[in-house]
Structure 1
Amino acid sequence: MSHKSIAIFTWGLDGGAFTNLPVALTKGFWNLGVKDLYILYLSKGPAEDITFPEGVKLVSLGVERSMASPIALSRFLKTAKPDVLIAMPTIISIPAIMGWLLAQQRQTKFVIYQGDTLTSDIAIDHKHNLRMQIMPWLARLLYPTANGLTTVSQGVLDILKQDHIPIPRNRVAVIPNPVDVENFLVRSQAEEPEHPWLRHKDSPVIVSLGRLGKRKNYPMLLQAVAKVRSHLKVKLIIFGEGPERKNLQELIAKLGLQEDVSLPGHVANPWSHIAKADVFVMSSLDEAFCLALVEAMACGVPVISTDAIGGGPRSILEDGKYGNLVPTDDVQALADAIHKVLTSQSWRSHLIDVSKQRCQAFEPEAVAKQWLSFLQQV
């Protein structure tokens, strides 16, 4: 099929990882010559620092919650009749399918974007959330109606099959998330970091970025830092907010790390902080992709990650070729990896060099090319 017009339905345009995805993919499509582009969003945004190519049409559906969006989405599809509808992130796939089916516009091809592990993610972080619990059941019912499906890693595709979630046969592709590397580099150098440990560094600083939830497995990182600290003076900053804050603060106190660990919450420009760090560590149990890992690599910072369920870090780092990959339950291995990066200048330099090379694979145009090739098949 031709793909003259593409609509991307997203959560909101108020910043954060969910916003970065459609911004980067739209930029890639635009640069490859797709000029009839729509960004549909619920009602939040766009934030002042969100910039799309000038001709992209932003359409607010005017609803607060994704489950209230199908009727508004179907109205848009009946009017605009785009060739393709893509929904991202995964949490809005179900309401997007409902809106697409309601519109009965079969000339609009609907492609599911699967950016998380679904069942694994729910089991770790949403086991008491009824709405999230029914997502796999709805996926089993509705996913087969779509024209195509993309997953961000082979690990995610394997989990979908393992969990008996039907996928459109022969219309499946593994396509990584796009990352606007150039944008993050500009933003990382735009200002000095706010955090005093990075402004006036008196010891190596480890950083991590993500929601303070169980999925991020931060207790493992704290235990590893405690081990490193017995040999080396280090500090750790974890940027993000979430329900595990109280538990993490209690563990920090128990490990005697109050003077060396900071949980500053959200910051407006995390990349200016990451760029000044000595190492970026992701300790997750489950990661379908992990944008923050690529962002850190783009900022020229060596990275370490656990080999999380979903295979995102393994895919990004190509089995450890572009950064340290350690098991999700081996605190000592994580501590050793951190110590090596902080004490071996040759190893640090090697990781920084190969990381920058690897980032090219996630540039918006490179990823958009894969999308356009796949859309020809559906």
Structure 2
Amino acid sequence: MKCLFLITGMPMGGAERVMSTLANELVSQGHQVRLITLKEAISAYKLDQRVEFIGGNAKAESHNRVIRFVQSSIAAIKGAIFYRKQLKEYNPDIVLSFLTNTNLLAVINNYISRKKYPIIISERCDPRKRSKLLINLCNRVYPLADCIVCQSREIENYFLEKKPNAITSVIPNPVNEECINTQSINKRKNLIVSAGRLNNQKNYDLLIDAFSDIEKDYSDYYVEIYGQGPEKDRLQEKVNQLGLQERILFKGVKTNVMKHISDAKLYIMSSDFEGFPNALVEAMASGLPVISTDFPTGVARELIRDEENGYVIPVGDRKKLSQAMVKIISNEEIQKKMSTNNVKLREQLNVNNIVSKWNKLFMETIMKEKDYAGN
């Protein structure tokens, strides 16, 4: 099987990690994979040397809005030409695309071209968190793909409501065992942790506020937040104003962070919206009790059962978060039960299990296209 993987770029991120994992696993099984990025051929994740990795160098770098618009327009044209050239040269059995811009490129190109290829696109975020123009465009274009792969039932239902005859599938992200802790924890620290980009989406204000509500009753507890981003200075100033600079610590970026924080009492995801948050899944698979907001894609509800392996709270609900924090950190038995139950996620989202789902989908899509062409 010859697979052409298409993505905008390969920096550090959830979609990029999954694409690299999938590419590596497929070539190890004897398949051919060419991974093309519209930007430069630089990957934050290790790629098997058998994966062909090619970049189109189509990018916009200026911070000036007008210049960047012109650069983006040129980059879009350059990227489309690059992609069409790769299709013609490689002649894949199937195309897999991740991320919005490349999904639209893959499907529109297939629609207007004489030669058709089986196209699978994957929605990696919440499709409702876009501009109205982009939402309408995706709702029209995405169903033209041979399959839309979603990461939750909630998002699958969204596309089916827009286009009932769209072909969809739900495949969650795999757990990469290199990124999690697999050692048993005998004693947990009085530590609450969170990890992710320091931006508005992650709503770290919620975590800081909720901890400030309980910190006097739990004076031996600390919070560590891992990640970088544009909100760093503002969040640090907020912590300083609350007088909690010795209790809430910003730890920056840490490679394989779950291996370093797996002995904490609790992991918290305070986001307003998410696609399929790898950090939450990795925390759970590392055996951490968790609390997550009920972000709209519904992934938290699919992964977490209240009081069994964590708690799901309404988005932005400071009171519910502080209450859930107290329930976990004040009860060692609940901590043990949640930890034990979360470890089971390792098998459920094992790389081999998830890759086999992708493999099956690829083969079914290819055969369906051949049957269609034969008729």
TM > 0.5 fold call: yes
- Residues 230 and 183 of structure 1, relative CA distance in 2, 3 Å threshold: same
Match of 2:54 in 1: 59
Identity %: 25
| RMSD of aligned residue pairs (Cα, Å) | 2.8
Name the SS of the counterpart of 1:329 in structure 2. Answer: coil
Secondary structure of 2:126's counterpart equals coil
Name the CA shift for 1:307/1:59 in 2 (closer, same or farther; >3 Å). same
CA distance in 1, matches of 2:178, 2:113: 36
**What's the offset of the Cα at 1:309?**
0.9
Q: What amino acid is aligned across from residue 177 of structure 1 in structure 2? A: N
Q: State the alpha-carbon separation in 2 of the partners of residues 15 and 117 from structure 1.
A: 19
User: Which among 20, 23, 28 is matched to residue 26 of structure 1?
Assistant: 23
Distance 1:35 1:104, change over 3 A: same
Match of 1:126 in 2: none
How far apart are 1:342 and its partner, in Å? Answer: 2.2
| 2:87 match | 77
Compute the displacement of 1:344 (Å).
Answer: 2.0
1:8 maps to 2:5: yes
Does structure 2 retain, via aligned residues, the 8 Å contact 1:77–1:100?
no
Aligned-residue offset at 1:55: 2.3
User: What is the distance in 2 between the residues matched to 1:271 and 1:205?
Assistant: 13
- Which residue of 114, 118, 128 corresponds with 1:109? 118
Question: How far off is 1:153 after superposition?
Answer: 0.3
* SS at structure 1 position matched to 2:92: coil
Deviations 1:309-363 (A, max 9, x none): 1101112225664322222233222122222322322211211111111232222
In structure 2, what residue type is equivalent to 1:208? Answer: S
Change (3 A) 1:30 1:303: farther
Output the amino acid matched with 1:227: D
Cross-structure match for 2:200: 214
8 Å CA contact 1:156–1:288 kept in 2: the answer is no
Q: For residues 16 and 89 of structure 1, what CA distance do their matches in structure 2 show?
A: 11
Aligned partner of 1:46: which letter?
I
Partner SS state of residue 211, structure 1: coil
- 1:226 paired residue number: 212
Structure 2 counterpart of 1:251, from 216, 235, 238: 238
What is the CA distance between 1:79 and its match in structure 2?
A: 1.1
* Structure 2 Cα separation of the partners of residues 70 and 289 of structure 1: 28
5+ residue gaps, structure 1 = 123-131, 190-200
**Which residue does 1:137 correspond to in 2?**
136
Secondary structure (helix, strand or coil) at the match of 1:8 reads strand
Under a length normalisation based on structure 1, what TM-score does the superposition of the two structures give? 0.81
Looking at structure 2, the residues matched to 264 and 283 of structure 1 have their Cα atoms a distance apart, in angstroms, of 17
Structure 1 CA distance, aligned partners of 2:166 and 2:305? Answer: 25
* Counterpart residue number, 2:227: 240
Larger Rg: 2
- Distance 1:92-1:251 versus aligned 2 partners, 3 A rule: farther
Query: Any idea what SS the aligned residue of 2:36 has?
Result: strand
Question: Is the Cα contact below 8 Å between 1:308 and 1:328 reproduced in 2?
Answer: yes
What does residue 36 of structure 1 align with? Answer: 32
Task: Name the aligned partner's letter for residue 238 of structure 2.
Answer: L
Bigger drift between 260-269 and 353-362 goes to: 260-269
Q: Distance in 1 between matches of 2:17 and 2:42?
A: 12
CA separation of 1:158 and 1:152: change in aligned 2, threshold 3 A: same
In 1: Cα distance, 2:350 partner to 2:249 partner: 32
One-letter amino acid of the structure 1 residue matched with residue 198 of structure 2: L
Moved more, 91-100 or 35-44: 91-100
* Shift, 1:259, TM fit: 1.9
Q: Please say if residues 9 and 40 of structure 1, whose CA atoms lie closer than 8 Å, have aligned partners that are also in contact.
A: yes
Q: Could you tell me which amino acid in structure 1 is paired with residue 211 of structure 2?
A: V
Match of 1:157 in 2: 156
Does residue 179 (structure 1) correspond to residue 175 (structure 2)? The answer is yes
| Native 8 Å contact 1:280 1:296 kept in 2 | yes
Using the alignment, how far apart are the partners of 1:257 and 1:89 within structure 2? 38
TM superposition score normalised by structure 2: 0.82
- C-alpha change, 1:319 and 1:27, in structure 2 (3 Å) is farther
Distance (whole Å) between structure 2 residues aligned to residue 304 and residue 84 of structure 1 = 39
Q: Give the residue type in structure 1 aligned to 2:33.
A: L
CA separation of 1:231 and 1:45: change in aligned 2, threshold 3 A:
farther
Q: 1:118 aligns with which of 124, 127, 134?
A: 127
Q: For residues 356 and 89 of structure 1, do their structure 2 counterparts lie closer, same or farther at Cα, with a shift above 3 Å needed?
A: farther
The amino acid across from 2:269 in the alignment is: M
- State the alpha-carbon separation in 1 of the partners of residues 334 and 188 from structure 2: 22
Q: Give the letter for the 2:35 counterpart.
A: I
Letter in 1 for 2:141: L
Aligned length: 346
| Distance in 1 between residues matched to 2:270 and 2:263, nearest whole Å | 20
Q: Note closer, same or farther for the CA distance 1:185–1:216 as it changes in structure 2 (3 Å cut).
A: closer
Cα distance, 1:27 vs. partner? Answer: 3.8
Once residues 7 and 105 of structure 2 are traced to their aligned partners in structure 1, the CA distance between those partners, rounded to angstroms, is 11
CA distance in 1, matches of 2:17, 2:99: 11
Counterpart-to-counterpart distance in 1, 2:110 and 2:224? 43
Amino acid across the alignment from 2:123: Q
**Which deviations, in whole Å up to 9, do the C-alpha atoms of 1:79-99 show, x marking residues without a partner?**
111111111134532233344
Instruction: From 323, 326, 331, give the equivalent of 2:318.
Output: 331
Distance 1:89 1:178, change over 3 A: farther
1:284-303 to 2 correspondence within 5 Å? Answer: 284-303=271-290
